[in-house]
Structures are given as C-alpha cells and as structure tokens.
Amino acid sequence: MQEFRNSSASGTVKENHPQAESVGACQDLFSCGLWQALMVWNQEVKTLEEKANNFLETEKIGRLMRKYSVPCIISLVVAALYNIVDQIFIANADYLGSYGNAANTVVFPLTVVALAIAVMIGDGCCAFVSISLGAGKKEDAHRSIGNAILLCVICSIILTAIYLIFMEPLLTMFGGKVNEETYQCAQEYFFWIALGVPFYMFGQAVNPIIRSDGSPRFAMFATVVGAVANIILDPIFIFPMKMGMKGAAIATVIGQILTAILSIWYLLHMKAVKLEKGSFGLWGRLMKRFLALGITSFLSQISLVISMAAVQNMCTKYGALDEIFGQPEYTQIPLAVLGIVMKFFQIAISIAVGMAAGCIPVVGYNIGAGRKDRARKLFTYLLLTEAAVGAVATIIVEFFPGQLIGIFGASNESAYYTEFAVKSFRIYLCMMILAMVNKGTFIYLQALGKAIASTVISLAREVVFGVALPIILPIFFGLNGVLYSFPAADIITFVIAVVMIRWTYKQLRPDNESTGKVVGCAAK
C-alpha cells in the first residue's frame, strides 16, 4: 500500500476515485485477500501513468483549443485550397475561362463524396482513439487505427472504379451537360482526379488520426506540403505547358500523393499509440464503434453533395430560362459563379470545421476521464469563436465581393458575369455567422458521441432545407430563388441548433460540482 500512497502524493493519480472503483477495491480486499487488493491498486496506478495524453485533462482549455484547432484549421483550409487553387488558375487561363470554372464546379461534389467516406473513417477513429486513451484502453486505440487504415484503402479503390466506370452519368447528374465545352472540360479533369482518389482519401482519413496521437502540427505539415506542390505545379502545367484541365488535375494528384507519403511515415512513428502487425485487421466490434462516431461526418458531407446536386441543377434549369443566361454563350455563367461562391464558403466553413474538429481529441479525452466541466467550458469557447469568425466572413462578402470575384478571372469575362457574381456573394452568403455556429455545434455533438442530435442538425440543413428550398423558392423568384435558399436554410437550422445547444449544456452539467479536481492543481 505504501507504493500507492507514494504515487498518489506525486500527483500521478486522481485524489478521489469513482465510488464504483473504491467499492470494487474494498470487495477485493475482503474476498480475495490483501495481496489481490494490492494488485488492483497497482494496476490502476500503472494504467494512469500510461496515459500519454493526460495533459488534455489538466492544461487550460483555451490553450488546448488553440494548440489543436489552429493546426487543424490550417490543414483544412489548405486541403480546401486544392480545388480552389485549380479553379483560380483555370479561371485565369483565357483558353479555359468560365467553361473550366463551370467544369470545376461540376466535379467538386464528386470529390466531396470521397471526402465524406474518408472523414467518416478518420474522424470516427480520431474520436474513438481519444476516448480509448482517456479510459486507458491502448489496445482498442491501436487496433482501431489499423482497422481504419485498411477500411479506407478498400473503400478508395472501390470508389475509383465506380468513378471511372460511371463517369458520364455522374457528371451529368451535377450539371455537366450545361453545354458541350463545359462537359469536355469536366470529363478531362475528372478522369485524373478519380485516379488520385485513393491518395486523397488516405491523407484525409489519417489526418485526424495523427491529431488524436497528439501531433496536430505534423497533420498540418503533411497537408501543407501537398498543397504547396499543387500551387507550384498548377501554373506550370496550365500556362507554359498548356495542359489545360488535365494539368490542373495532375498537379492536384501529385500534391495528394505527397500528403499520403508523409502520413504513412508518421503512422510508422506514432507517439501515444504504437502500431504493430496485429493492429491491422477488420474487427467488427471496433469498426462498429468508430464508424458510429464518424457517421455524422459522413452524413454531413453526403448531405452537402445532395444539396449541391439540387442547387446546381436548379441553377442550370432556371439559368436557361433567364433572359441573359439563356443565351448559348452565357449558359455556363451561373454554374461557374456558383462554384466560386461555394469555394469562398468552403474556406470559411473549413475554419469553422477546423475549430470544432480540433476540439475532438480534447472532448473525447475529458469525457473518457469524466471531466464534464471541462467539456462544457470548451463548448462555450467554441461557440463564441465560431460566431466571431462568421461575423468577419459576412463582412468580407458583403463589402468586398468585387475583389473576391476578381481573384477568379473576372477581368476575362463579361459584365453579366461580374454583376451576377457580386449579387450571389451578397445574398447566398449573408448568413454565414449562423452557418458557422450550426457547423461547430454539429461537430461538437459528434465528439460527445451524441450521434442522433448531431445528425439531426446536419440532415436538417443539407437534405431537408438544402434540397427543398432550392427547388421551391425558384418557382417564385426564378434564378434569384436559388440564391435565397442558402441563407433561408441556415436561419431555420439555427433555430434547431439553439435547442440542441441548450440541451447539451444540461447534459454537460457536472454530476458533482466538487468532482474533477486533480491532486496538485485546480481544475482549469
């Protein structure tokens, strides 16, 4: 017993153990003898000492949020730049212009499908690993990672095959047949992007796993390296080499390959979790656990794809009925502009997702350790930060739309292009502050394991309102109705999110306000 007292005094274990554990130890003492009781306590000490990430339970919440969220934000923003950089260089190539822009918009939802599967696996595994480490279950942690890697590889190969076999109907589904020039550009771009899907999915799936291992900076570095390669190669392939859409796609794939290579290197040098040969397998029990935690990420992305399909098809339909955009030389403009607006939104929402996703390891660990007080405080920090960033983004789109559209080659296009783009930015994105709070709430609920509540917010926004409103509103407002649908969906979803936020705060109220203190330091 002296060993346990010494360990307790050093501050490596909690001052007050849960009641169930204390009772269990006492029962062992009387039923199994002093020696067995001593072994129970020694094992508890050993388990607690093995928690490589125990700083997640003790360090200040604000500092932890910055430590994990900032690299995650950078990673996601940089990842978003893959597609955006392609579109910028394509738009500024006079031999591609708005046709290339429209083609990029057509292909974009199909890349999101790959992302959806990857983040379901990666975010789910990240949350499960964090919870497992918080509970001292290292075997579950390393086996779930191996399971996730195998599952990602299998899914990516299958998806690539589907994309190559069903290319034409898939491109048509997202408005690729708006005119022949757009379709040819989309087909050329998508072929090479499809070949890079396994590398893209692997990098995106492993990125949150790296964060859960306590290395958010390396996760960021791996993504940045790939994006920088894409930025360097894009103008080389598009302008002097005149490779067009093919060149933009190949530059993107090369960047994704570099990210995947760096991710593999890290997996071989993990810190908190060590992978072994026995880590790799498809275990149904673990797969069920981490996929359940990641399903909300999947549904969020897939529902976004469904919403984009509705918006892009309505844009094409009602654009053809418009006095200006119904003319053959201008038919691709609404689709091209919509893609640009969505790209800016993607950057803003990547910040929102990054802030929330960066909280996943912190939330998971503290919930696993029974620290509801810290999880609640982190939720407050997150909501306030999401609202602040959303307010800044809204100011930018309302006051500087001309500057934003100028980045995407507006000087090479007609006045109709610029006019519609400015209007689109100001209407379509006017409620970004609500959109970011909605997104942060849903991801945080996912980190808490509240899959149903998280799914309700995501599906309501993207499927119920994101599909219904783009179909209904244009009936009354024409092409402008497509633009009105986005802020209307965010407003209605925010009402639902407020209900979920209040409920979450009640759920995170500590069972005993006096619990949660650690020997040697006050609760942060």
Per-residue pLDDT band for 225 (boundaries 50, 70, 90) equals: very high
User: What is the reported pLDDT for 217?
Assistant: 85
User: What is the reported pLDDT for 166?
Assistant: 96
Nearest CA among 199, 50, 206 for reference residue 126: 206
Alpha-carbon span 116 to 302, nearest angstrom: 6
Alpha-carbon span 173 to 222, nearest angstrom: 33
- Look at residue 321 and tell me if it is in a domain: yes
Output the CA angle 336-185-205, nearest 5 degrees: 80
**Residue whose token pair is 């296009």:** 413
User: What is the reported pLDDT for 394?
Assistant: 95
Residue 342: pLDDT above 70? yes
Domain span including residue 149: 61-507
Task: Kindly give the residue spans of alpha helices, DSSP state H, lying in 448-478.
Answer: 451-459, 466-477
293 φ/ψ sector (left φ>0, alpha ψ -120 to 50, else beta): alpha
Per-residue pLDDT band for 474 (boundaries 50, 70, 90) equals: very high
- Look at residue 478 and tell me if it is in a domain: yes
Alpha-carbon span 103 to 111, nearest angstrom: 13
* pLDDT over 70, % of the chain: 83
Residue 521: pLDDT above 60? no
Amino acid at 467: V
**Tens-digit pLDDT profile for residues 386-442:** 999 999 999 999 999 988 888 876 666 778 888 999 999 999 999 999 999 999 998
- Look at residue 334 and tell me if it is in a domain: yes
- Top mean-pLDDT range of 141-150, 261-270, 348-357: 261-270
User: What is the reported pLDDT for 409?
Assistant: 67
User: What is the reported pLDDT for 435?
Assistant: 93
- Look at residue 20 and tell me if it is in a domain: no
Structure pTM?
A: 0.70
Choice among 129-133, 193-197, 213-217, 471-475 with the minimum mean pLDDT: 129-133
Q: What is the mean pLDDT of the chain?
A: 80
339 φ/ψ sector (left φ>0, alpha ψ -120 to 50, else beta): alpha
Nearest CA among 199, 491, 133, 467 for reference residue 309: 467
Residue 302: pLDDT above 60? yes
- Look at residue 242 and tell me if it is in a domain: yes
**Residue whose token pair is 């503290």:** 366
- Look at residue 69 and tell me if it is in a domain: yes
Contact predicate 140/286, CB 8 Å: yes
- How far out from the chain centre does Cα 296 lie? 11
Q: How far is CA 433 from CA 311, 441, 445, in A?
A: 21, 13, 19
User: What is the reported pLDDT for 412?
Assistant: 63
- Look at residue 12 and tell me if it is in a domain: no
User: What is the reported pLDDT for 40?
Assistant: 38
Alpha-carbon span 184 to 327, nearest angstrom: 19
Euclidean distance between the first and the last CA atom of the chain, given in angstroms as a whole number? 30
User: What is the reported pLDDT for 32?
Assistant: 42
Residue 278: pLDDT above 70? no
Alpha-carbon span 54 to 128, nearest angstrom: 16
Which residue has better confidence, 372 or 171? 171
Q: How many domains does the chain have?
A: 1
Q: How far is CA 31 from CA 3, 28, 102, in A?
A: 22, 5, 74
Alpha-carbon span 147 to 126, nearest angstrom: 12
- How far out from the chain centre does Cα 79 lie? 10
User: What is the reported pLDDT for 48?
Assistant: 40
- Look at residue 46 and tell me if it is in a domain: no
Per-residue pLDDT band for 477 (boundaries 50, 70, 90) equals: very high
Burial of 240 (0-12, 13-18, 19+ CB in 10 A): exposed
DSSP characters over 486-522? HHHHHHHHHHHHHHHHHHHHHHTS-SSTT---BTTB-
Alpha-carbon span 295 to 157, nearest angstrom: 20
| CB-facing half-sphere around the CA of 310: CA atoms within 13 A | 24
Contact predicate 187/167, CB 8 Å: yes
In which element (H, E) is residue 422 found?
helix 415-428
Per-residue pLDDT band for 58 (boundaries 50, 70, 90) equals: low
Residue 15: pLDDT above 70? no
Amino acid at 471: I
Contact predicate 459/443, CB 8 Å: no
Alpha-carbon span 119 to 304, nearest angstrom: 14
Per-residue pLDDT band for 507 (boundaries 50, 70, 90) equals: confident
**Tens-digit pLDDT profile for residues 246-269:** 999 999 999 999 999 999 999 888
